[in-house]
Amino acid sequence: MSVLLLSHRACLDHDAGADHPECPDRLRAVLRALEHPDFLPLQRDEAPRATIGHLARVHPPEYVDAILGIRPEPGHRFALDPDTWMSHGSAEAALRAAGAAVRAVDEVATGRMKRAFCATRPPGHHAEPGRPMGFCLFANAAVAARHAQAAHGIARVAVLDFDVHHGNGTQAVFERDPSVLFLSSHQMPCYPGTGAASETGVGNIVNAPLPPGSDGAAFRAAWAERLLPALEAFGPGMIIVSAGFDAHAADPLAQLRVREADFAWLTAEICAAADRLCGGRVVSLLEGGYDLEALAASAAAHVRGLMGL
């Protein structure tokens, strides 16, 4: 099965500070895990830059210009909020992360690749149209979904988010647009405070909040009983995945108890649904995950699932 892996060395140059959990070692750990012989069949390529036009489908042009205009001198950082920082290399990293999402959609939509995984940073699902937050600068999954619609005529796109933190940015982009389905499991209460089951948009938002301490069985039940049936009913032409692995039991930023086997199970379920609904077309983007060992093992389990292993 043809699966594309996109990354770029510039994504290592985004530096939020020595003690910041969203650090370059996260990406290094994932890429090191994907050097295992199991992953030799992956097609590997460098992520291109997103264009202003790609980003402007989601973010106002003045916001895009403002973010790209922040380029601190080497060795210095600029705070956008208490959690979200930019360094000299952050704008380039953010362009590559969004560009990977766009390129992945192109490859999968045209059938050149069956599926794709974008191993990039910074993550994106907390970035709202006009506000960076939660370590995120551009809403990469939303950019991918809008590109699928605008460039490839895919009328209905589903965005599935299993990061432990609710993807408030993705939800904010699409909550009034019935052509995009947003499905999310996440811990609640937890940052950013959104994602209640009562938040339904125009019937296109389905949130499955989980209380702290929920384990893999609860995680699987949320998807099997609530979220995946909604996906089947929607019938998308492409599935975008916000693949955050901070629901893992070892992660320091939240309190769910999910394991690698649970991520592998969900990946298999997503791919099976994609095979039934949209020709197998899945584009997955790295979001959170802050214990390096757990992140690496979980991302590897996810990519094995994308490859059908």
Annotated catalytic sites, by residue? 126
* Tokens linked to 41: 């069949």
Place of tokens 């766009």: 102
Decide if 44 contacts 132 (C-beta within 8 A).
Answer: no
Distance CA(125)–CA(224), nearest Å, equals 23
Decide if 29 contacts 298 (C-beta within 8 A).
Answer: no
Distance CA(232)–CA(53), nearest Å, equals 31
* Tokens linked to 280: 């197998």
Q: Which residues of 5-31 are buried (b: 16+ CB within 10 A; e: fewer)?
A: bbbbebbbbbbbeeeebbbbebbebbb
* Tokens linked to 67: 């973010």
Q: How far is CA 146 from the centre of its chain?
A: 14
* Tokens linked to 144: 């991918």
Decide if 167 contacts 126 (C-beta within 8 A).
Answer: yes
In DSSP terms, 242 is beta-bridged to 161, 285
Residues contacting 80, CB < 8 A, separation 6+: 70, 86, 132, 133, 137
In DSSP terms, 240 is beta-bridged to 159, 283
